[in-house]
Amino acid sequence: MAISDASVLTHLTDADVDGLAAELDAIRAEIEDCRGERDARYIYRTIALQRALEVAGRVVLAASSRRWAWWAGAATLGLAKIVENMEIGHNVMHGQWDWMNDPEIHSSSWEWDMAGTAKHWRFTHNFQHHKYTNVLGMDTDVGYGFLRVTRDQPWRKHHIANLLMSALLMLGFEWGVALQHLGLQLRNLFNGRADRAAKLELRERFSKAGRQLVKDYLATPALTSLSPGATFTSAVTANVLANVIRNVWIDAVVLCGHFPDGAEKFTNQDLDNETKGQWYLRQILGSANIDAGPLLAFLTGNLSYQIEHHLYPDLPSNRLAEIAVRVRQVCDKYDLPYTTGPFLTQFAQTWRTIATLSLPAR
């Protein structure tokens, strides 16, 4: 649907939409004005925690190849990867900490611990997904080009494998990120339509994927196996499990952010003339929060506040909890839906939708 067709918005006048935009702009301005030492301390401590977790995981794996050590080391490494990808990498690449002018914690320089390049992610995610959130044909995160996640997508024969493909994506999420749009680029290359920039991007993507494979499955296992208490094989398999833990968790959080009941999908009908207020409305209607305490929120990279993140993608993630209180007040004032629910409920709704849409409409 177009944003102008949303039945939950029919009570809003143009003045209401402008007023909504002004109030949401005011929240942004206030947070920007009070960013400072507390926020900087938060991100530095988070980075220190993540590095400590990674070191701890590798030390445990090096100390012993017994089953308990293998499980503990792999789980700790998986947790370290979750924190790096979610609360640090994703948010740093959004520019949430650019105001600090620290060259090591800047959107232009951070490269995350994942097979996909930060440069490509900043285009597919920061631009395509956040600007065109849930717009069919524009936001490539809507089904990733092969899943059917809304009835607005016509059913195709391959959608019968919706559940299987979604499960495979969950297990190998980092490779889904790395390979996004790769098919089109390779077709252009083989057909002679790839320009110099496209060829450079392909080299960058294959180079990053190669480095990640060497790091995870050759270099760090070889280093770990130098310890008399570890073996190369146990280190490799622990890294495999750590990556799967990270992949499954991130995919689950992503699904809960845009595909539970209540998260709307849109067409590009009104996109060219979309006002700032309408853009805000699309972010609110197209996103869903998770009811989370501080620990769960941290583990999601504060994407439990998906609505607020989409309204303010470049504001520090540690501020989203306080922002959420005010955004919800604005939604109540304008009688707007504010989709949120327990993690397991949101997750189950998403998989139910994926299963249902694997079959054509009756």
- Domain ranges across the chain: 3-358
Q: Which residue has the tokens 């097979």?
A: 115
H helix and E strand count, the chain: 17, 2
Tell me which of 4-13, 62-71, 181-190, 198-207 is least confident.
Answer: 181-190
Asked if residue 183 has pLDDT above 80, the reply is: no
Tell me which of 8-12, 19-23, 181-185 is least confident.
Answer: 181-185
| DSSP SS3 for 266 | strand
Q: What is the pLDDT of residues 82-123, one digit of tens each?
A: 999 999 999 999 999 999 999 999 999 999 999 999 999 999
Closest CA to 336 of 6, 27, 2, 1: 6
Rounded Cα distance, 151 and 231, in Å? 50
Chain centroid to Cα 199, Å, comes to 26
Amino acid at 353: T
9 — pLDDT class (breaks 50, 70, 90):
confident
With b for 16 or more beta-carbon neighbours within 10 A and e for fewer, the 22-48 pattern comes to ebbeebeeebeeebeeebbebbeebbe
Rounded Cα distance, 1 and 148, in Å? 16
Q: Which residue has the tokens 């280190």?
A: 235
What pLDDT is attached to residue 303? 98
Asked if residue 145 has pLDDT above 80, the reply is: yes
Query: In Å, how far are 37, 92, 321 from 44, measured between CA atoms?
Result: 11, 12, 19
pTM reported for the whole predicted model? 0.94
Share of the chain above pLDDT 70, in %: 94
Cβ-contact 9, 274 below 8 angstroms: no
Q: What is the pLDDT of residues 197-254, one digit of tens each?
A: 777 888 898 999 999 999 999 999 999 999 999 999 999 999 999 999 999 999 999 9
Q: Which residue has the higher pLDDT, 196 or 96?
A: 96
Cβ-contact 58, 227 below 8 angstroms: no
- Distance from first CA to last CA of the chain, Å, rounded? 21
- The alpha carbon dihedral of 312, 269, 147, 207 has a sign of negative
Asked if residue 301 has pLDDT above 60, the reply is: yes
Asked if residue 193 has pLDDT above 70, the reply is: no
For 144, how many CA atoms within 13 A lie in the half-sphere containing its CB?
A: 22
4 — pLDDT class (breaks 50, 70, 90):
low
What pLDDT is attached to residue 191? 64
Cβ-contact 301, 91 below 8 angstroms: yes
* Mean of per-residue pLDDT scores for the chain: 93
What pLDDT is attached to residue 55? 98
Asked if residue 70 has pLDDT above 70, the reply is: yes
